[in-house]
């Protein structure tokens, strides 16, 4: 998606960690009435398959692989058919289970900066929700 001309104009033109932040901001502008406080906008640099590739192979810099689904197939993690890569929801769910161990590892998240961004945003939302619930409680 980020290679589409109408989207590229919203990206930074360098390899900074926050390259996708302008695109996230642009996507937020699509939401009538603003972004709900519990919503998290984060984007993989190319595709979520990159994260699956990272936890199932020893490949580095997976978020820069332009065709991570193809790399998953090349690694034998998803099947190829006559029509292309078979993106079975069942198989993807099996592969996604391994992501859980990376979510709490600082080292793993440093290797997957966009996943790290998602985890950071999720933690921030959770903190705000807990804080709001605590503020609503009546003192005893």
Report the alpha-carbon distance of residue 40 to residue 28 in Å, rounded: 10
pLDDT in tens, 5-27: 777 776 666 555 556 677 777 78
Model pLDDT, residue 56: 94
Model pLDDT, residue 26: 78
The model's confidence at residue 94, banded by pLDDT at 50, 70 and 90, is very high
Model pLDDT, residue 69: 92
Report the alpha-carbon distance of residue 125 to residue 99 in Å, rounded: 20
pLDDT (average), residues 113-130: 84
Sign of the C-alpha dihedral, residues 24, 29, 31, 34? positive
- Helices H, strands E: what count in the chain? 8, 2
Higher pLDDT, 124 or 37: 124
pTM above 0.75, yes or no: no
Higher pLDDT, 94 or 138: 94
Model pLDDT, residue 38: 73
Model pLDDT, residue 44: 65
For the chain, the domain total comes to 1
Calculate the alpha carbon distances from 140 to 131, 132, 137 in Å.
Answer: 18, 17, 9
pLDDT in tens, 76-92: 999 999 999 999 999 99
Residue 114 sits in which domain range? Answer: 5-136
pLDDT in tens, 41-82: 766 666 889 899 999 998 888 888 888 999 999 999 999 999
């Amino acid at each position: 998606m980020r290679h589409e001309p109408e989207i590229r104009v919203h990206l930074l033109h360098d390899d900074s960690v926050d390259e996708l932040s302008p695109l996230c901001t642009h996507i937020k502008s699509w939401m009538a009435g603003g972004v709900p406080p519990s919503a998290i906008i984060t984007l993989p640099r190319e595709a979520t398959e990159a994260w699956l590739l990272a936890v199932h192979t020893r490949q580095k810099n997976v978020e820069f692989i332009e065709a991570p689904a193809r790399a998953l197939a090349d690694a034998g993690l998803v099947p190829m058919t006559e029509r292309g890569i078979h993106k079975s929801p069942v198989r993807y769910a099996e592969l996604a289970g391994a992501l859980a161990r990376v979510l709490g590892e600082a080292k793993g998240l440093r290797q997957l900066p966009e996943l790290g961004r998602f985890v950071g945003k999720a933690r921030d939302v959770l903190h705000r929700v807990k804080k709001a619930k605590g503020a609503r409680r009546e003192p005893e």
